Structure 1
Amino acid sequence: MRLEAITWDRLGDLLADRLLDLEPADGSAWPRVAFDGAPAARPGDLADRVSAALRIRGRPSLVVGTEGFLRPASLRLEYGRQDVESYYSGWHDTGALWREVFDPLGPGGDGRVLPDLRDPATDRATRSAYVHVPPGGALLLHGPFLLHQWFPLDLSVHLVLGPGALRRRTPEAEHWTLPAFDRYEEESDPSGAADVLVRADDPRHPAWSG
């Protein structure tokens, strides 16, 4: 796959323009986009850029991070604070994401979305208010391991880091998570499955294909 150099601002503009013409395949009134990547790749930053670019173009959007849908610590840390299997498959409350985000933005949905459920720092409910996403507004979901969840996505963007860059840009205290990303690459091939691939080894000089 050939990757081309690009700036983050230009990439945000190109993705926003692409979303303006995106028609959900299942008849939903809301295009749903995933920005998939390890925390070290900062997929939320790109989601925010696209949201800002859409705002300039008069199109509403809602940025949702999966870190706001962590399962309670008593469940996700049941097998210890550094259990790779739990981190890979059990930290995020995918049922809540379906119920509070994807179902309201699916065919026949009402657009009433809960943007987050649990504060990752305090492990308490955020008690955030529901947000109404008007028809045509885009969901910009960001987080790790999104492309093996069978979410109804209309566009997927995968931010990839090479093994060296991933290790270098992940805080040392979180190096125990690295095997989970190796497993994700082996089992789900997100680089091949995504509609748009962004190489972010050098955060100043990304490259993309899409």
Structure 2
Amino acid sequence: MEQDTAGLADEIAAVLAEQAVPVVRVSARDFLQGRSVRLEYGHDDPDSAYDLWYDFPALRREVLDALLPDGRHTYLPRLRDPDTDRSVRITPQPAPPGTVAVVDGRFFTRGDVRDGFDLVVHLDVSSGALGRRLPPEEAERTTGAWLRYLAEDEPTRHADLVVRFDHPDRPALRTA
């Protein structure tokens, strides 16, 4: 599922770049908490997936707030390698004023992160489609976290755009 959302974010970034908009591409997957934090309560715990999976303060500090007009105009495209679970040692990258960050990931209408974005697109996925697209080892954790997110954060209410994403090859903008 992350590949689908990353592909859509790549396409959006490419369109912006074609329009001469300075753009950086970032994935929340590169801002995960360490494995010891994420999995402290077990591999299948949905509350851990919701509460502990992503390092949203770091994403805000190193990308979103850094690109604000009064920000430092350098950003970190990655904080942690999700495969090795190690910090990525990279130099902050320059970003000219007006740079747009296109970020893919989950849970962006949460109260602790949504105001860091100028525009949030919620990809609305039915539980059936979610179940078909998740690897079996992620199903319990991710589905539970997603259902909690839908109930607590009401992403269709807080997102600027809602896209029906049951079929990634044909996303559909939802209206009213």
Shared fold (TM-score greater than 0.5)?
yes
* CA shift for structure 1 position 107: 4.2
* CA shift for structure 1 position 74: 1.5
Q: Secondary structure at the match of 1:158?
A: strand
CA distance in 1, matches of 2:167, 2:56: 31
Deviations 1:5-53 (A, max 9, x none): xxxxxxxxxxxxxxxxxxxxxxxxxxxxxxxxx637x222121111111
CA distance in 2, matches of 1:56, 1:192: 31
Deviations 1:119-163 (A, max 9, x none): 011001121231111112101111001110333221110111111
Within a 5 Å distance, the mapping from 1:180-191 to structure 2 comes to 180-191=145-156
* Structure 1 unaligned blocks of 5 or more: 1-37
* CA shift for structure 1 position 100: 1.1
TM-score, structure 1 normalization: 0.77
Report the RMSD for the aligned CA atoms in angstroms. 1.6
Match in the other structure for 1:164: 128
Structure number with the bigger relative contact order (C-alpha 8 A, sep ≥ 6) is 1
Match in the other structure for 2:11: 49
* Residues 60 and 116, structure 2, Cα contact 8 Å, conserved in 1: no
Aligned-residue identity in percent: 41
The amino acid of 1:68's aligned partner reads D
Match in the other structure for 1:104: 66
Given the alignment of the two structures, is residue 116 of structure 1 paired with residue 78 of structure 2, yes or no?
yes
CA distance in 1, matches of 2:5, 2:157: 17
CA distance in 2, matches of 1:128, 1:82: 32
CA distance in 1, matches of 2:105, 2:133: 16
TM-score, structure 2 normalization: 0.90
Q: How many residues align?
A: 172
Write out the 4+ residue segments of structure 1 that deviate beyond 4 Å after TM superposition. none
